[in-house]
Amino acid sequence: MPEILEQEDNQLRLQQINAAIDSGMFVYVRNLFQEMPAYDLALMLESSTSKTRLVLWQLIDPDMHGEVLEELNEEVRKSILKNMAPEKVAAVAEGMDIDDIAEVLRTLPDSVYQQVINTMDHQDRTRVEQALSYEEDTAGGIMNTDTITIRPDVTVDVVLRYLRLKGTLPESTDSFYVVDRNDLFIGSVSLSSIVTARAEVIISTLIDDDVTAVKADMPEADVAQLFEKYDWFSAPVIDENGRLVGRITIDDVIDIIREEAEHSLMSMAGLDDEADTFAPVVKSTQQRSVWLAVNLVTALMAVAVSSMFEGILSELAILAILNTLVPSMGGVAGNQTLTLVIRGIALGHIGDSNSRLILYKELAVGFLNGLIWSLVIAGVVVLWKQDISLGLVIAFAMMVNLTVAGASGVLIPILLKKMNIDPALAGSVILTTITDIVGIFAFLGTATWLLSP
């Protein structure tokens, strides 16, 4: 019976490796690394500080460097490439898939890029430059060029004999592409239909109607959606003239799906989705401070609004104490709606046809929640301070703010999307600014009107 995989304890191994490096047992670590798949080595590098990372990198078998680079997240990969000589980068690139070499080269500074390209042999250079001619986030940018093509008029028997002669197939081949003499794409034939067909069957009769080609300039997010929609394992890529130029396999698509899903989470906290968990302190501080600066400006706007009510705040200290309550609840309620709508837009649930429906729905939810929490908070305040007018003031402000929060949670991301601004990045700040300002106005404004001594 073969080895049965249990989820290895990456953390435990990391601990052992760190201990071994601390005591200088480099040979031990080098041997350990030789038995680990590239994915695990990449995980290990991503889980280390930038200093340890460079030591670990040196201990990885250079033959594995290419594969490990492929698996690394962008920021960590950059930090490693920065420390490599151009000839070394070129040497590593030799063993890599074309789409991955292109991805690596894209992250290099121009001068290093030229040096790397110059050290490559002619054939590699042409292939890489062709791959680089496509935009990064398109079908052309993620495709591989190692396709197997066949003519429509040959028989199954001819294909099988050709395959036996060839001996091996490109990784994850599940189908062959049928092209004419000019490389024009005709269709796709699955490996399984070839092995189940009789020997004399003509290839053109086996073409799979469900598989259509994607254009090289299609955005990668659309490619990923097609893969999910039709449960494809691979798809042919054609240029603007209908010529076959490569194929995309599902393992590349998985990376896109994961990155997209992570993007919203990270952006909503003002982080880059490729952020290096263990980036150096100064770099992290710089990256975070932009977001903190934006938030300081919005917080100061809230302060400016409060300061308009300095008079009543100095007369009634209880207003100062309760002043955070309404903005805080509005922020939470608004962020719930915002998150739902951002996900809805990303999944294709929300668009022009039903944006009004979701607005009505969230307005109603905001109003109902406003009603519930107005009553609760009014009850708390009346019991605590024995002051019915104060209870009324805060209840009214809460109603207004939660309703506004519901509307803003829908409108902000939809408007940002129309303006081509990423709602996940900017939505939360704008929303909080609105719920802060409306909350303070509603609370202190009503208080000035009803409670002024």
Considering only residues 191 to 220 of the shown chain, the ones binding a copy of itself according to CB under 8 A are 191-192, 194-198, 212-215, 218-219
Read off the tokens for 342: 């951002």
Q: How many Å apart are CA 215 and CA 209, to the nearest integer?
A: 17
**Residue bearing tokens 């997010």:** 221
Number of residues that bind a copy of itself (CB under 8 A): 141
Residue 133 contacts residue 106 (beta carbons within 8 Å): no
319 binds a copy of itself (CB under 8 A): yes
Q: How many helices (H) and strands (E) does the chain have?
A: 23, 6
Residue 60 binds a copy of itself (CB under 8 A):
no
261 is an interface residue for a copy of itself by CB under 8 A: yes
* Main-chain dihedrals φ then ψ at residue 184, nearest 5 degrees: -70, 135
Residues 325-344 that bind a copy of itself (CB under 8 A): 325, 327-329, 332-333, 335-336, 338-341, 343-344
Q: Does 310 bind a copy of itself (CB under 8 A)?
A: yes
The nearest distance, CB 270 to a copy of itself, in angstroms, is: 6
What is the amino acid identity at position 438?
V
For 140-240, list the strands marked E by DSSP: 149-150, 175-179, 185-190, 214-215, 234-238
Residue 155 as a binder of a copy of itself (CB under 8 A): the answer is: no
- Answer for which of 27, 55, 202, 372 binds a copy of itself (CB under 8 A) is 372
What is the C-alpha separation between 304 and 341, in angstroms, rounded?
Answer: 30
Task: Say whether 202 sits in a helix, a strand or coil.
Answer: strand
Residues in a beta bridge with 179 = 185
How far apart CA 91 and CA 114 sit, in angstroms, is 14
- Does position 46 interact with a copy of itself (CB under 8 A)? The reply is yes
Per CB under 8 A, 3 contacts a copy of itself: yes
Q: Write down the least CB distance from residue 197 to a copy of itself, Å.
A: 7
- CB 204, min distance to a copy of itself, A: 12
Q: Which is nearer to a copy of itself, 9 or 110 (CB)?
A: 9
Is position 34 an interface residue for a copy of itself (rule: CB under 8 A)?
Answer: no
Least Cβ distance, residue 82 to a copy of itself (angstroms): 19
CA count, 13 A, side-chain hemisphere, 73? 18
Q: Which of 21, 32, 320, 411 binds a copy of itself (CB under 8 A)?
A: 320
Q: Whole-angstrom Cα distance, residue 103 to residue 319?
A: 57
Given 93, 131, 322, 430, the residue binding a copy of itself (CB under 8 A): 322
155 phi and psi, to 5 degrees? -95, 165
* Interface map 219-258 toward a copy of itself (x if CB under 8 A): x--x--xxxxxxx-x----x---x-------xx-xx--xx
**Residue 280: CB minimum distance to a copy of itself, A:** 8
Binding status of residue 6 toward a copy of itself by CB under 8 A: yes
Q: Tally Cβ neighbours within 10 Å of residue 60.
A: 21
Q: Does 2 bind a copy of itself (CB under 8 A)?
A: yes
Question: Which residues, 265 to 294, sit near a copy of itself by CB under 8 A?
Answer: 265-266, 268-271, 275, 277-278, 281-282, 284-285, 288-289, 291-292
Cα 317 from chain centroid? 46
User: CB within 8 A of 452, min separation 6: which ones?
Assistant: 312, 315
Q: Is 419 in the site for a copy of itself (CB under 8 A)?
A: no
Stretch that binds a copy of itself, among 54-62, 94-102, 105-113, 163-171 (CB under 8 A): 163-171
Rule CB under 8 A: is residue 387 a binding residue for a copy of itself?
no
Comparing CB distances to a copy of itself, the nearer of 123 and 307 is 307
Q: Could you give the CA distance from residue 204 to residue 188 in angstroms, rounded to a whole number?
A: 9
Q: At its nearest, how many Å lie between a copy of itself and the CB of residue 91?
A: 23
Concatenated DSSP letters of 358-389:
HHHHHHHHHHHHHHHHHHHHHHHHHHHH--HH
Which tokens sit at 140? 């052309």
Tell me if 37 contacts a copy of itself by CB under 8 A.
yes
Footprint (CB under 8 A) of a copy of itself, residues 429-448: 436
Q: How far is the CB of 266 from a copy of itself (least distance, A)?
A: 6
Structure tokens at 108: 């290099």
Q: Is the Cβ of residue 335 or residue 446 nearer to a copy of itself in the bound state? A: 335
297 close to 291: Cβ distance less than 8 angstroms: no
